[in-house]
Amino acid sequence: MWLIGHAQDHVRGTGCTVLIFPEGAVASCDVRGGAPGTRETALLAPECLVEKVTAIVLSGGSARGLSAADGVMRFCEEKGWGFDTGFGVVPIIPAACLFDLSCGDMTAWPDDAMGREASISARSLEESPMGNIGAGTGATVGKYTGLERAMKSGFGWGKRVSGSLEVSAVVAVNAFGAVKDDSGKFIAGAQEEGKVVDPRSLFETGGVWNGWGRNTTIGAVVTNALLDKSSCRRVAIMGHTGLASSIFPVHTPFDGDTVFCASTSETPADTVLVGTMAAAAMAEAVQNAVLSARSAYGLKSAADISLFK
């Protein structure tokens, strides 16, 4: 069993999302972007001691937003969830952040109170909203021609099922690049006169290609497959394929793209199958994040620019 919760400040443009595993979950992660902001990710390496995490936090606010994990830790401690050290329970809570300071109020970021609020609100995935919510509250997409042409993005989720096997993906899309649908059509990115600028059109001109400090897509794959840490790491790697199939360009020096994988260890399953389903679920989650977003902070959303087509 696992739960997901969100907390946000719509006025100031930031928020956080928390995935909670009351019974713990085997987990690992993979970082592909060149500018990550993370907490406790070293512990998720297969060779490290602790097997299970208590929660995973996705946060806005850049590095300051990682403090939201403190509130999640406090909540889990009160519930008695975490790693038993023999001298008390210590919740293991890795986290990743995205940079949303350029959207809304640059002095706002998730703190421990917001992390606790997200934990209290945690429900099943199917009950989770998408769009301008949680870590996606201040998310934007398409900064390859400058921030002034970016579009509003958000939080999304996707799910794949095969018999008793379930693989879900959640993501906050704050990408430097543009997002495309399954046909390859760009549906969100740098926009000009109600149309998305194809980033490939900048190959000849050189474009801007400079988006330091304004990006990062962070997400997680959660499955009931029975996986060890090494297999979780592999599924996280394969989950990045979902980002690569739906975001272009991706994994740039200006993004801190990070994908976690958590296993609740209920159903025997082949890692290749789980990873393939993870990639599909992640691509769906990315598309849902931009399609569910609504205009805010002076930025148009995909729902708005479609009105001009």
Q: Residue ranges per domain, the chain?
A: 3-308
What's the confidence (pLDDT) of residue 16? 98
What's the confidence (pLDDT) of residue 148? 86
Q: Distances from the Cα of 198 to the Cαs of 7, 144, 184, 292, in angstroms?
A: 33, 10, 11, 21
Q: Distances from the Cα of 193 to the Cαs of 56, 152, 230, 271, 308, in angstroms?
A: 39, 15, 47, 45, 8
Parallel, antiparallel, or unpaired for β 191-192 and 38-39? unpaired
Listed in sequence order, the residues at least 6 apart from 64 whose beta carbon sits closer than 8 Å to its beta carbon are 109
Q: Would you say 37 and 63 are in contact if contact means Cβ atoms under 8 Å apart?
A: yes
Q: Distance between CA atoms of 171 and 84, rounded to whole angstroms? A: 30
Q: Distance between CA atoms of 5 and 183, rounded to whole angstroms? A: 32
Q: Residue 278: helix, strand or coil by DSSP?
A: helix
What's the confidence (pLDDT) of residue 214? 79
Q: What is the CATH number of domain 3-308?
A: 3.60.70.12
Instruction: Output the tens digit of pLDDT for each of the chain's 309 residues.
Output: 899 999 999 999 999 999 999 999 999 999 998 889 999 999 999 999 889 999 999 999 999 999 999 999 999 999 999 998 889 899 999 999 999 998 888 899 999 999 999 999 999 999 999 999 999 999 999 998 888 889 999 999 999 999 999 999 999 999 999 999 999 999 999 998 888 999 998 877 776 666 666 789 999 999 999 999 999 999 999 999 999 999 999 998 888 899 999 999 999 999 999 999 999 999 999 999 999 999 999 999 998 876 555
